[in-house]
Amino acid sequence: MGRDLYKLNVQIENSTPGTGALTGNAVMLHSFVSTHTILQVRQGTFVSLMDPPETLKTIAQGCQNLHTWPVLVGNEGDSDTMLSSPIILYDYPQIAPESPGSLFDGTEIDEILTLRIMTLTDEEKEEMRQGDERIREILERTEALSPEQFMKLHGVIRSLRPVDNGGAGGEASLPGSGVSPDTPLLIDNGGAGGEASLPGSGVSPDTPLLHPPQAASEREGI
């Protein structure tokens, strides 16, 4: 790409042998489900694809990712580690304080998985209790959630800040919110869920506020 500037292309392929005849749940044990890619660099830095320097914005926008979102991780300002996740994250993601505990690896959407656990049959729950201690702990913690704790998983607004989306159609106007049509919005919900409400805006907690996702084709970064 230029002196001291490189574009990385990462392809992950499942080449596990002998899976052609597997069906149903059996094949799931040999599948790449929720695959995360962690990249690290020494004597170099990764460039944020969400907030690249102005001089690299065009190159960053040219990176294509298929069902994965590469973001910087670590302490704010660190640039030596990148996580590519199958769920939408922002740079330097943090576990939301509303999360009652890890359900898988800390990157899951608590509300969705909690609802799935709550819809299990009594027989399925009993099977979970007979499993390992971690599975039993997840079930017991989920069943002990109060209505107030569960509603906190529905989503909160951490902040609203202007973003430059290059005219891609991400601008919005919320009546009564004091936000003009000229102000693009980035909804940062801290990972607790994908929905939010703005007091006085006419937007209810049942109205998803979504930022347009980036185009996806292949996993790349710079």
Whether 206 shows a pLDDT value over 60: the answer reads no
Question: Which of 13-22, 71-80, 153-162, 201-210 is predicted with the least confidence, judged by mean pLDDT?
Answer: 201-210
Rounded distance between C-alpha atoms, residue 72 and residue 136, angstroms: 33
d(CA 79, CA 72): 6
Alpha-carbon distances of 199 from 151, 155, 181, 188, rounded to whole Å: 17, 14, 18, 16
**Beta strands, E only, 73-189:** 81-85, 159-161, 186-188
pLDDT at site 52:
92
Model confidence at 45: pLDDT above 90: yes
The pLDDT tens digits of the residues spanning 65-78 come to 888 889 999 999 99
pLDDT at residue 128 in the model: 85
Helices (H) and strands (E) in the chain, counts: 6, 7
Nearest to 36 by CA among 10, 74, 16: 10
Q: Give me the chain's average pLDDT, please.
A: 73
What pLDDT score was predicted for residue 40?
94
Residue 144 has a pLDDT of 87
Q: Which tens digit of pLDDT belongs to each residue from 114-160?
A: 888 888 899 999 888 887 888 888 888 888 888 888 787 776 676 67
Asked whether the predicted pLDDT for residue 182 surpasses 50, the reply is: yes
Residue carrying the six token digits 């926008």:
61
Query: In angstroms, what CA-CA distances link 94 with 89, 113, 169, 178?
Result: 9, 18, 28, 29
Query: So what's the pLDDT on residue 89?
Result: 85
Q: What DSSP designation does 1 have?
A: -
